[in-house]
Structure 1
Amino acid sequence: MSTLLQWPLRQWQLFCLALAFFSRIPVPASTPYSPELLNQSSRYLSLVGLLLGALQALVLLLAAQLLPFSIAVLLSLISGLVLTGAFHEDGLADTADGLGGGLSLDRKLEIMKDSRVGTYGLVALFSVFLIKWQSLFALDTQAVWALVLVAGLSRATAVSLTFVLPYQQLDVVSKSKPIATSLQKRALLSIWLFVLPFLYFIPLSLTLSLLAILALSFILLFFYYRSQLQGYTGDLLGAAQQVTELSLYLVWLIWWRQQG
């Protein structure tokens, strides 16, 4: 195979690998796998997020033709859980349990490795899901576009933390271990280039508001994770995605209400 054809084939394989790791969407069985390839596939995480968000938006549009809008929004959120296998939500619950119930570093990691969900995790899951549901419902027609864009932006923000925080080596069974090795800077550029152009299609004032909350979320998560675990784990990345997603919905809703 010529070099000209090898590059797009390799990129397609990396995208499929990212899709398989971060979602339940089937990919070709011939897709090659190795920890190194999975590490490289992280550059497509925001693109995977955009695809997942688009599928959720499609569910919302179709369901809204037959059901009340509040139910349609609920179904779109549930479809997101099905598409990802609640991958990020699991990280949110484990993070809430670990950081909420552990006092020492080792104890926090021990709790986060436990597959059982505790009180902190349940409260976090319920609260985040409920607020997301009501925010999207209140966004009305804006909800479709919000689902797509926020899915990409929140995942880009979460994976960007791996470039500024060390991987917490004590967490030997972390979900993120295959992607926790050093990522090249050009991968970070790719992650954001997939999603940032979509900001062109929304008003400038909304774009600036979303970018501001992204920067704030990133800074706060960076300092909080560094103070709690001196680094990151897969669970913390999942929690970062969920927290950022929720923050973006709320800011979008504030902007939308001001327009009225």
Structure 2
Amino acid sequence: MRDAIHLEWQLFLLALRYLTRVPVPAGLPSSDDLMIRATKYHPVVGVVVGAVGAAVLWLAALVLPWGAAVILSLAATLIVTGAFHEDGLADAVDGLAGGSDRDTVLRIMADARLGKHGGMALGLVLALKLVLLASLNLPDAMAALVAGHAMGRMGAVHIIATTRYARSEGMQAIITAITPDGYRVALAMLAVLLAGMMLWFGWVATGYALVLSILLGQLFRAWFQRKLGGYTGDCLGGVQQLCELGVYLGLAIVL
């Protein structure tokens, strides 16, 4: 039993190291198999990231105007993740909007430079997050950050589990895989998250948040499926960002 708990803790730390810049113990074992098994904990990492943003929001709101506190909370989440998903969103939109065929789309996505389409998409998403979170009161905004980041990463896990990978080469194809059992564990975590949201926000607001999160993620999925026939790591970043945004949009409509 102790060995099983220790293994699960290591898997969580692997997921934390992959998705964030949070320091983890040196010498953490890693392999393709462990990275695949760690994918189920991506939504839990989202809870951690959202909790960091919520803590910064609470502290900043004690001494600063509300708008500044919201900006600092989002900045904290960018710092703790290294803007991992935001970079993916920008690269994905650059490729999808700028490429006319599959090979061109993939080539543009691989370019580290920020293009006009990606810059506009990233700016709009960040601006919408700021406005929507600022429309909520402090307790609801803190809870929304946790829910949004967890839901966003669950959206990416769903894509991993149900969509083929667009590239045939590289470690990314292995790292972004998930086992059927792992996916079921992630779905169970989602059920717990939704139950907590219903207790905090009520079932109407939670329903709006869930539907809009799914809608935005699936619209983006339809776009990269049509252009690529599958997903890339950058596409996962875009899904995460849009699913997170959908949560804030749904909550702001109702609350």
TM range (shorter): over 0.9
Identity score, percent = 37
Amino acid at match of 1:239: G
Q: For structure 2, which runs of at least 5 residues remain unmatched after alignment? A: none
Amino acid at match of 2:69: A
Amino acid at match of 2:245: L
Q: How does 1:70-219 map to 2 (within 5 A)?
A: 70-141=67-138, 142-170=140-168, 172=169, 176-181=172-177, 183-197=178-192, 198-201=196-199, 202-219=201-218
TM-score, scaled to structure 2? 0.93
**8 Å Cα contact 1:50/1:195 also seen in 2:** no
**8 Å Cα contact 1:157/1:241 also seen in 2:** yes
Q: Secondary structure at the match of 1:116?
A: coil
* Structure 2 residue 64 is the aligned partner of structure 1 residue 67: yes
> Counterpart in 2 of 1:221?
220
**8 Å Cα contact 1:113/1:173 also seen in 2:** no
TM superposition shift of 1:178: 3.8
Q: For structure 1, which runs of at least 5 residues remain unmatched after alignment? A: none
Q: Give CA deviations for 1:100-145 in whole Å, capped at 9, x if unaligned.
A: 1110100000000011111111111111111111111111232111
Amino acid at match of 1:196: A
**8 Å Cα contact 1:149/1:195 also seen in 2:** no
Q: Secondary structure at the match of 1:232?
A: coil
Q: Give CA deviations for 1:71-126 in whole Å, capped at 9, x if unaligned.
A: 00000000000000000001001011101111010000000001111111111111
Q: Distance in 2 between matches of 1:40 and 1:247?
A: 27
TM superposition shift of 1:162: 1.3
The RMSD of aligned alpha carbons is 1.5
TM-score, scaled to structure 1? 0.91
Q: Distance in 2 between matches of 1:214 and 1:118?
A: 26
Q: Distance in 1 between matches of 2:170 and 2:104?
A: 15
Q: How does 1:11-22 map to 2 (within 5 A)?
A: 11-22=8-19
Q: Secondary structure at the match of 1:194?
A: helix
TM superposition shift of 1:173: 5.0
**8 Å Cα contact 1:46/1:192 also seen in 2:** no
> Counterpart in 1 of 2:2?
5
Q: Distance in 2 between matches of 1:66 and 1:38?
A: 41
Q: Distance in 1 between matches of 2:125 and 2:218?
A: 20
Q: Distance in 2 between matches of 1:173 and 1:92?
A: 20
